[in-house]
Amino acid sequence: MAALINVPAKARRGDIIELRTLTSHIMETGFRHTADGKLVPRDIITSFICRYNGAEIFRADLFPAIAANPYLSFFTVARESGTFEFEWVGDNGYSSTASAVITVE
């Protein structure tokens, strides 16, 4: 399933840039019941990590109060050209990754 990544393709060295991610996930809270009274088990993304040329620049612990299809926006300083790697990890062995390339001049 899709993820939407928004990273500027180009930046000047030292620019503060915004990174935005939106990923497909139901984020089932684990607090809901079906009509016949069964608890719907929790199925959420529990953590998100962003790495810039291998170094962690942002990390988030997510809880059931994060809305379905989690959206995150955060900032970093454009230091050098390279790759941003995004990783989402969650319940039931969930894991997905995405990446984006930036040219820093």
Give the binding site for another protein (CB under 8 A).
1-4, 6, 16-17, 20, 22-24, 26-27, 29, 31-35, 37, 40, 52, 57-77, 79
To the nearest whole angstrom, how small is the minimum distance from the Cβ of residue 66 to another protein?
6
* β-bridge pairing 71-77 and 10-11: unpaired
Tell me the C-alpha distance between 102 and 87, whole Å. Answer: 17
Phi, psi of 91 (to 5 degrees): -60, 160
To the nearest whole angstrom, how small is the minimum distance from the Cβ of residue 86 to another protein?
13
Nearest residue to 44 via CA among 93, 99, 3: 93
To the nearest whole angstrom, how small is the minimum distance from the Cβ of residue 39 to another protein?
9
Comparing CB distances to another protein, the nearer of 66 and 102 is 66
